[in-house]
Structure 1
Amino acid sequence: DKEFDQLCFDFGIELDDIEPIPESNGEDVEYKIDIPANRYDILCLEGLSRALKIFLQKGELPKFTLSNQKLIRMKILPNTQRIRPIVVGAVLRNITFNADSYNSFIKLQDKLHQNLCRNRTLVAIGTHDLDTIKPPFIYDAREPKQIKFRSLNQQKEMQADEMLEFYSKDSHLKRYVSIIQESDVYPVIYDSNNVVLSLPPIINGDHSKMSVNTKNVFIECTAVDLHKANVVLNIMLKMFAQYC
């Protein structure tokens, strides 16, 4: 532990605490590390371990390439300019998750939402099982009563205005409702079968929800800032491309 504490200090981060994980009966511990505000690339274990290996000269800088195969298109309709005009996206293909890497993937989204994305006001991340939906996709903004779908982990369909009322009482999601609630149109992403992928920046649809068994991940980032949208998307891709 002292050796790791010194490594953190030399690297420029701070080891705050080491706590036992109750579920492991004391066999495993959790390291709490203070990460600098501008180091979004080390907010997950994948990024931190990679950075430390490079710092110790035990690893090389990774090189990433984009494949031009199986390009997916998303049509952006003019109405989106009224509320949330930007969307970018990419696919992680042939990915293999285990329980730990899948949880890390989900947690990184939450961490990015809280800081770089400014509580989803600037950018909102949606992740989907690509094999459950059919491209090309459509990014639109429609009146709330024109949007109806079953949101993540819910049993019944709701109109978008009903959905926002529902999530205004949700302990986790209520903070995001006000971002779009007063608008006369809400942003929404559909696939070519008219299946709703997401109602950003609030909630994804249940139809395309991911699991640890997902093999192809479609990531979409809706935003009001193109630069930050690209930064967020690139972080998600580069942290988890190692599992592809």
Structure 2
Amino acid sequence: MPTLTLNLRYLFSLVGRELSDSELSELLEKSKMSLERIEGDEIEVEVTTDRLDLLSEEGIARHFKGLLGIEEGIPKYEVFQSDVEGIVEESVMSVRPGFALGIVLGVHLGEEGLLSLMHLQEKIHQTWGRERRKVSIGVHDFDKLEPPITYAGERPEDIRFVPLGESEIMNAREIINRHEKGIAYGHIIADKPLFPVLRDRRGEVLSLPPIINSEMTRVTSETRNLLIDVTGTSQREVEQALIVVATALAEKGGKIGTVKLKGAKGELVTPDLTPKVMSLEAEYFRAKTGLNLSPQEIANLLRKSRLDAVAKQEVVEASIPPYRVDFLHPIDLVEEAL
């Protein structure tokens, strides 16, 4: 299971108040996280592998606010349809076909938020992304690029840009042979005749996924407007990772913009923030738990876990936030309410 090091001061600022040691321990237990270490302003916690939404301080604070009764039900994010388009070329479909884009505008990152974002990316890469083979994420300063964004497969010698953290132009083959990230992850694409690449309207390279972004779109603590790209082998998992990152940024005041993708994948709009709906029979809940709770009491418990829930006679209709990937069966609703 992934282990996270959290900044307590930052976490408390997101929750809106400080938490005592006993409160913190109780909230972690209710969230099915285990406390591994606490030292000064830092704690180390272990998170279950299916809770991508708890891989950042923003996601943990969002969940804690529900358990504390500060905010209940599905978070209400400001979402708009942007005029940004993504073009997917046929040349990339045999290389790395999963692709999704989203934008988040008006984010207040700061140093702590930037660090949290970087850690979230890497934890998703390590877990859900299987060390970037299955999913990889790029985050860019939206103000430094010009849409539309094209995702294509190109000869590695034709992909030339300054990689993040460098000062000289390199081609993609040089990057996988010489750059730190290329040496670590280049094997994922090294045997392909074409490498995946993202370019903007001007032809400027934004990213060589799943290896490295361009220095041109570097994100800093002052960056306010962000483009998120996610690539991988599975479209469903790529889109899920995008939702997790975009909604974490929305917790920092960002407005989420959807992007229309067209081309080799047909037409698709990402991220799709439609909640999943699932029903839970009250009698099923009682049989599994031994607790004689009414449908309304069950619904109230689910709302504290940041789900929307409505009692209808002996059935609870639950709407599950799109950033939760761990609901497959009504038993998951039962466990969530406990």
TM-score surpassing 0.5? Answer: yes
| TM alignment of 1:26-45, pairs within 5 A | 29-45=41-57
**Which residue number in structure 2 is paired with residue 220 of structure 1?**
229
- Percent identical residues: 28
Question: Is contact 2:99-2:239 (8 Å) kept?
Answer: no
Change in 2 beyond 3 A, CA 1:124/1:11: closer
Separation in 2, partners of 1:230, 1:32: 28
Q: Which runs of 4+ in 1 moved over 4 A?
A: none
Residue 15 of structure 1: how far off its partner (Å): 1.1
State whether residues 65 and 71 of structure 2, in contact with CA within 8 Å, keep that contact through their aligned partners in structure 1. yes
Indicate whether 1:64 and 2:84 are aligned: no
Name 1:10's counterpart in structure 2.
30
Q: Kindly indicate whether residue 243 of structure 2 is the aligned counterpart of residue 234 of structure 1.
A: yes
2: CA distance, partners of 1:118 / 1:92: 25
Aligned positions, number: 232
Partner amino acid for 1:64?
Y
Instruction: Return the structure number with greater strand share.
Output: 2
CA distance in 2, matches of 1:179, 1:78: 19
- For residues 109-159 of structure 1, the C-alpha deviation after alignment (integer angstroms, 9 at most, x for no partner) is 011110011111111101100111100111110111111111112111011
> Is 1:100 the counterpart of 2:99 in the alignment?
no
CA deviation string 1:3-38 (max 9, x = no partner): 422332233221111123xxxxxxxx2111111111
RCO higher in 1 or 2 (8 Å CA, sep ≥ 6)? 1
Structure 1 residue 58, shift from structure 2 partner:
2.2
Which amino acid in 1 is paired with 2:126? Q
Q: Deviations over 1:43-96 (max 9, x none)?
A: 11111111112122221230235302x321111111101211121000001111
What is the CA–CA distance in structure 2 between the aligned matches of 1:107 and 1:12, rounded to whole Å? 20
Unaligned runs of 5+ in 2: 1-20, 255-338
Rounded Cα–Cα distance in structure 2 between residues aligned with 1:173 and 1:195:
20
Contact 2:129 2:135 in 1 (8 A): yes
Radius of gyration: which is bigger? 2
CA contact (8 A) 2:96 2:231 kept: yes
The answer as to whether partners of 2:176 and 2:182 remain within 8 angstroms in 1 is: no
Distance 1:157 1:151 in 2: 7
Residues 162 and 205 of structure 1: CA distance in aligned 2, closer, same or farther (over 3 Å)? same
* Aligned partner (choices 65, 72, 79) of residue 91 of structure 2: 79
5 Å matches for 1:83-232?
Answer: 83-167=95-179, 170=180, 174-232=183-241
Q: Give distance in 2, aligned partners of 1:86 and 1:153.
A: 26
1:168-225 CA distances to partner (integer Å, 9 max, x unpaired)? Answer: xx2x553311000111110000001110000000000111111111111000001110
- What letter corresponds to residue 63 of structure 1 in structure 2? K
> What's the counterpart of residue 25 of structure 1?
none
CA distance in 2, matches of 1:124, 1:3: 35
SS at match of 2:206: strand
Task: Name the SS of the counterpart of 2:231 in structure 1.
Answer: strand
- The two structures, once aligned, show a CA RMSD in angstroms of 1.4
